[in-house]
C-alpha cells in the first residue's frame, strides 16, 4: 500500500515534556509538510521540507523542530517551548511541482 502514515494516532504529554510525532511516506515524494489544526479551524503550516537535509519554517514554527535525514521520513518534535500544543497534527507530502498534497491520518496531541 502506498501512502503516508502517522504515529501515534493519539498522544498524551505532560507539561514540560518534548514529544516526537512520526510521519513516513512511501510515495517517493520530495516535499513533506507539517500542519497544525485547532478545533473548527483551518490548517496552519508549521514546517516544510522540499528536499532531504533541508527544511523551512512555516507560519507557526515557534516551539517546534523537525529533521529530514531521509526522503521518506519527516518527524516533528513538539518542544516544551510550545505553550499551547494541544491540537490535531497533520503531515502531508507532495510529488515534484504538482502542487497536490497527500495527507496522513493525523495525530491528536493532548497536553495533560
Partner 1 sequence: SQQGEEDPQALSIQEGENATMNCSYKTSINNLQWYRQNSGRGLVHLILIRSNEREKHSGRLRVTLDTSKKSSSLLITASRAADTASYFCATPPQETSGSRLTFGEGTQLTVNP
Which chain residues interact with partner 1 by CB under 8 A? Answer: 4, 30-31, 33, 35, 40-43, 45, 48, 50, 58, 88, 90, 92, 94, 96-106, 108
What's the closest the beta carbon of residue 60 comes to partner 1, in angstroms? 13
Residue with cell 507539517: 34
Nearer to partner 1, 2 or 42 (CB): 42
The least distance separating partner 1 from the CB of residue 10, rounded to whole angstroms, comes to 10
Q: Are strands 107-111 and 19-25 parallel, antiparallel or unpaired?
A: unpaired
> Up-side HSE of residue 33: CA atoms within 13 Å toward CB?
19
Q: Which residue has the cell 494516532?
A: 9
Burial 40-62 (b: 16+ CB within 10 A, else e): eeebebbbbbeeeeebeebeebe
**Residue closer to partner 1 (CB basis): 28 or 50:** 50
- Taking the least distance from each CB to partner 1, the nearer of 18 and 59 is 59
Closer to partner 1 by Cβ: residue 27 or 80: 27
Amino acid at each position: 500500500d502506498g501512502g503516508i502514515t502517522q504515529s501515534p494516532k493519539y498522544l498524551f504529554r505532560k507539561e514540560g515534556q518534548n514529544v516526537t510525532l512520526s510521519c513516513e511516506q512511501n510515495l517517493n515524494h520530495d516535499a513533506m509538510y507539517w500542519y497544525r489544526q485547532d478545533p473548527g479551524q483551518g490548517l496552519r503550516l508549521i514546517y516544510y521540507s522540499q528536499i532531504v537535509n533541508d527544511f523551512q519554517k512555516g507560519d507557526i514554527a515557534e516551539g517546534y523542530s523537525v529533521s529530514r535525514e531521509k526522503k521518506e521520513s519527516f518527524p516533528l518534535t513538539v518542544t516544551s517551548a510550545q505553550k499551547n500544543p494541544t491540537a490535531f497534527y497533520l503531515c502531508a507530502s507532495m510529488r515534484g511541482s504538482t502542487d497536490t498534497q497527500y495527507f496522513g491520518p493525523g495525530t491528536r496531541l493532548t497536553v495533560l
